[in-house]
């Protein structure tokens, strides 16, 4: 598992639901940004709490 987090442990301990922000979801594809030609982000307002 990738342990290079964008937020420090101190900050994550103060957040109510840090799993939303650490970027290590189950089955998430983590590619090396130096080897990819296209970067794309599809975003929509969905949270795990809703289901």
Residue 22: the pLDDT is 67
Task: Let me know if residue 17 belongs to a domain.
Answer: yes
d(CA 24, CA 20): 9
pLDDT above 50 for 1: no
- pLDDT per position as a tens digit, 7-51: 677 877 887 776 666 666 677 777 888 898 888 877 776 666 655
In a domain, 4, yes or no: yes
Does residue 25 sit within a domain? Answer: yes
Question: In angstroms, rounded to a whole number, what is the distance separating the alpha carbons of residues 31 and 12?
Answer: 24
Indicate whether 38 belongs to any domain. Answer: yes
Residue-level pLDDT at 5:
58
pTM of the predicted model, to two decimals? 0.30
For residue 2, the enclosing domain spans 1-44
Contact 22, 2 (CB under 8 A): no
């Amino acid at each position: 598992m990738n342990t290079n987090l964008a937020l420090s442990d101190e900050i994550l301990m103060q957040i109510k639901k840090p799993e939303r922000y650490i970027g290590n979801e189950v089955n998430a594809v983590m590619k090396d940004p130096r080897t990819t030609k296209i970067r794309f982000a599809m975003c929509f307002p969905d949270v795990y709490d809703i289901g």
